[in-house]
Amino acid sequence: MTVLAQPDTTASAPREAAQDARRAQILDAARTCFARSGFRGASMQEICLEAKMSPGGLYRYFPSKEAIIEAIAQDERCGAAEIVQAMRGPGPLLDRLIGCAMGYFGYMRDPGACELMAEISAESLRNSEIGKRFAQIDDSVRDIMREVFEEAIEKGEMPPIEDLDATISMLQAAVDGIALRQINDPDLSLARMEPLLRRLVAGVLGMKA
Amino acid sequence: MTVLAQPDTTASAPREAAQDARRAQILDAARTCFARSGFRGASMQEICLEAKMSPGGLYRYFPSKEAIIEAIAQDERCGAAEIVQAMRGPGPLLDRLIGCAMGYFGYMRDPGACELMAEISAESLRNSEIGKRFAQIDDSVRDIMREVFEEAIEKGEMPPIEDLDATISMLQAAVDGIALRQINDPDLSLARMEPLLRRLVAGVLGMKA
């Protein structure tokens, strides 16, 4: 993915690929720095060092730390959309929901992913500009959950829910909490979590685990 | 509570009370600063300003930012122990568990409490010295949960649990996630959360909500 829209000609394609690689390299380095030092703590200098690039080279791609954070937020939005797709599609509702959550937990085990999420969560609490950049992810996950639940209720796959908004918030909150904790808790391996998560989700939705 | 152990004579008691008040004032100011700027971002100078004290005055109570963080961790350990007591005592198991969680959620609604918890969580992920200071809280909550569950299983109040460690971790993780999210989510008022939390906990424990 590139921010610079270019005609896809044979002449520009290799240049575009090199630019994309450079951009990805910067974003990887920035994630490492943000995970280590926080969004506020990490400096452009630290990101340059981590990316092994000169400031001049880096500024050609991103004019500011804010621009880097926005690019990461954009990538996260795409990543979340992909994971959340597991909620749709065929198969029993509970399997789809658990599959989606397990995909999320797996993703969060990538190096730095969890630290970055904790940073995002702290910024969201502060309701800062950084926090707002990531809030859209949450909203889009919410929309898909609502759609999936409404369809399942209509089909009789789950009982009607009295307070759908609170139910969705509760499940999001619980899954986020588990995603964060599983990283350092040896008792929360993916295999041991799955049957318990199934009971949790079934309990909240009033279904049979 | 004072760090300076003093003989409880009529002469020293007023002085001790004044010292306690001063100390509490500094810790309140430090919580505000940590919530706003993070453990790493907040400086001793910022804490002095917030506490309306000179550096000389502040250093008489706390020689370093680390000493302040340790004092806050100590207070948090005491606060957690108090909240967790609700799990013990008479009444049905599910009522006691929900009562404890609701007490925790209520506490987290205090100004700054949630931002501080997010900071603690980020530091725990980094496995930093700051994170370790707070890890003991988690362990003591865990110990009480285990004790309460084992007793309830013995009394036949809940079915036996196959993987008790993972079950405890899962509940801790879910409750922490909810505690964090409820602050900014209008759909998670305490009243709307309670019945859903009951279904969640009952589901995980294989009980009837």
Q: Is A207 helix (H, G, I), strand (E, B) or coil?
A: coil
Comparing CA positions, the residue from A171, A170, A186, A165 lying closest to residue A100 is: A171
- Closest-CA distance of chain B to residue A175, Å: 7
pLDDT of A144 above 50: yes
**What pLDDT, on a 0 to 100 scale, did the predictor assign at position B11?**
62
pLDDT of A5 above 90: no
φ/ψ (deg, to 5) at A73: -60, -40
* Residue-wise burial string across B14-31, b where 16 or more C-beta atoms lie within 10 A, e elsewhere: eebeebeebbebbbebbb
Residues of chain B with Cβ-Cβ distance to A114 below 8 Å are 125
**ipTM (interface pTM):** 0.84
Q: What is the mean pLDDT of chain A?
A: 90
- Name the pLDDT band for A153 (thresholds 50, 70, 90): very high
pLDDT of A91 above 80: yes
* pLDDT, tens digit, 9 for 90 and up, residues B138-161: 888 999 999 999 999 999 999 999
Higher pLDDT, B58 or A132: B58
* CB neighbour class for B62 (10 Å; exposed up to 12, middle 13-18, buried from 19): buried
pLDDT of B1 above 50: no
**What pLDDT, on a 0 to 100 scale, did the predictor assign at position A112?**
85
**Tokens for B56?**
């000389």
- Calculate what percentage of chain A has a pLDDT beyond 90: 64
Residue pair B149/B168 in contact (Cβ under 8 Å)? The answer is yes
Are A192 and B40 in contact (CB < 8 Å)? no
The pTM assigned to this predicted structure is 0.85
- Give the residue-averaged pLDDT of B51-72: 94
- Calculate what percentage of chain B has a pLDDT beyond 70: 95
- Closest-CA distance of chain A to residue B138, Å: 11
Are B173 and A183 in contact (CB < 8 Å)? no
- The separation between CA A53 and the C-alpha centre of its own chain, rounded to angstroms, equals 27
- Closest-CA distance of chain A to residue B21, Å: 29
Positive or negative: CA dihedral A102, A107, A20, A6: positive
- Give the residue-averaged pLDDT of B68-81: 91
Are A125 and B183 in contact (CB < 8 Å)? yes
Among A44-48, A113-117, B56-60, B96-100, which is the least confidently predicted range?
A113-117
Q: What is the mean pLDDT of chain B?
A: 90
Q: Which of B114, B204, B209 sits opposite A196 (nearest CB)?
A: B204
Among A7-11, A39-43, A153-157, which is the least confidently predicted range?
A7-11
Return the number of CB contacts < 8 Å for A and B.
Answer: 147
**What pLDDT, on a 0 to 100 scale, did the predictor assign at position A116?**
87
- Using CA atoms, how far residue B170 sits from A116, B93, B103, B118, in Å, is 21, 18, 19, 18
- Give the residue-averaged pLDDT of A104-109: 93
Residue pair B163/A192 in contact (Cβ under 8 Å)? The answer is yes
- Give the residue-averaged pLDDT of B96-106: 96
CA distance linking residue B81 with residue B62, whole number of Å: 24
Are B188 and A166 in contact (CB < 8 Å)? yes
Are B173 and A192 in contact (CB < 8 Å)? no
- Using CA atoms, how far residue A46 sits from A31, A65, A68, B4, in Å, is 11, 11, 13, 42
* pLDDT, tens digit, 9 for 90 and up, residues B126-139: 778 888 888 888 88
pLDDT of A169 above 70: yes
**What pLDDT, on a 0 to 100 scale, did the predictor assign at position B117?**
85
pLDDT of A2 above 50: no
Greatest mean pLDDT range, A8-12, A137-141, B20-24: B20-24
Residues of chain B with Cβ-Cβ distance to A163 below 8 Å are 187, 192, 196
CA distance linking residue A43 with residue A16, whole number of Å: 27
- Give the residue-averaged pLDDT of A1-18: 65
Greatest mean pLDDT range, A32-36, B99-103, B123-127: B99-103
Scanning every residue of chain B, which has its alpha carbon at the shortest distance from the alpha carbon of A196?
B204
**What pLDDT, on a 0 to 100 scale, did the predictor assign at position A3?**
46
Higher pLDDT, B116 or A160: A160
- The separation between CA A174 and the C-alpha centre of its own chain, rounded to angstroms, equals 15
